[in-house]
Structure 1
């Protein structure tokens, strides 16, 4: 099997897992999943990677378009949790999995840096703790309402600045 086929197989298997957990079921496991991900830890790391990429992408966009880092990052986090509720629930349920410790700490550091709670060169443990505390409170952060057309206006403004 070539790399392209492996990628497609992993992507399809991950999509199937997401469908199952988003429907409210527990993390599935089978011989087919073992063949693709190796073990449950490998599957959990892959799920976390998907969640982290979505959060990071949303944070980058939100920070580029809004002037309120705390509200923007909270809004980005909440949006991904709403998009991937089963993945988020599963990652919460397996939070003590040793294979997730480093990736989760890195994502929390990313959040802390984006919000301004930690510097890029801060020790991982300190930055991760700040990000973890922010995420724990993200659901309670007031996100300002956006008026219709704000996204188009901001994107047009950014494009004009970039081409000027």
Structure 2
């Protein structure tokens, strides 16, 4: 991919996200030129989400390691929420297309990453098990956005039997 292609793709993504902020359903009526189809567009949007989420998770975990009573679950929770808060159009676009098969594998990788980063799963565990734990974790984040840490951890134990 050339720099021109890269910049065209970035501009197209920005336009889709601007449109999504105004009218989510209309944002995907046409696929911008640099993308072949909606699946490719959704994959690019998820990649954009993951770049931001990964960066925030890494910083949060580094900060947690340096804290006397660091809490990995809380660090990952904060990183996910900040990423979602700072990218409402992107998160909404991914959420409205969550059932699209093109997002199945990238979302499973995201869930696995979150579970491992939060310390709820181990890297050696089967990918599908870690993804299941991460999916439950994200469901909890969405269900209890303002819950305090102890209440959230109690609900997490109920969602994840092996926790």
What TM-score results when the alignment is normalised by the length of structure 1?
0.79
Runs (5+) with no aligned partner, structure 2: 65-69, 150-163
Q: Deviations over 1:99-157 (max 9, x none)?
A: 111100001000000011111121111100100111111243536xxxxxxxxxxxxxx
- Deviation beyond 2 Å, 4+ runs, structure 1: 22-31, 139-143
Runs (5+) with no aligned partner, structure 1: 144-164
Which stretch shifts more, 77-86 or 21-30? Answer: 21-30
After superposition, the CA RMSD in angstroms is 1.8
2:28 matches 1:28:
yes
Cα offset, 1:24, TM superposition: 4.1
Larger Rg, first or second structure (1 or 2): 1
1:42 is matched with which residue? 40
Q: Deviations over 1:18-44 (max 9, x none)?
A: 11112343233436x1x3111001111
- The CA distance in 1 between the partners of 2:73 and 2:148, in whole Å, is 9
1:119 is matched with which residue? 122
What is the number of equivalent residue pairs in this alignment?
141
2:59 matches 1:93:
no
- The CA distance in 2 between the partners of 1:45 and 1:111, in whole Å, is 19
Asked whether the 8 Å contact 1:108–1:129 carries over to 2, the reply is yes
1:142 is matched with which residue? 148
Asked whether the 8 Å contact 1:55–1:77 carries over to 2, the reply is yes
Q: Deviations over 1:29-60 (max 9, x none)?
A: 436x1x31110011111111111111111000
- The CA distance in 2 between the partners of 1:96 and 1:85, in whole Å, is 19
Cα offset, 1:98, TM superposition: 0.8
- The CA distance in 2 between the partners of 1:118 and 1:77, in whole Å, is 17
Which stretch shifts more, 106-115 or 49-58? Answer: 49-58
Cα offset, 1:84, TM superposition: 1.1
- The CA distance in 2 between the partners of 1:23 and 1:80, in whole Å, is 19
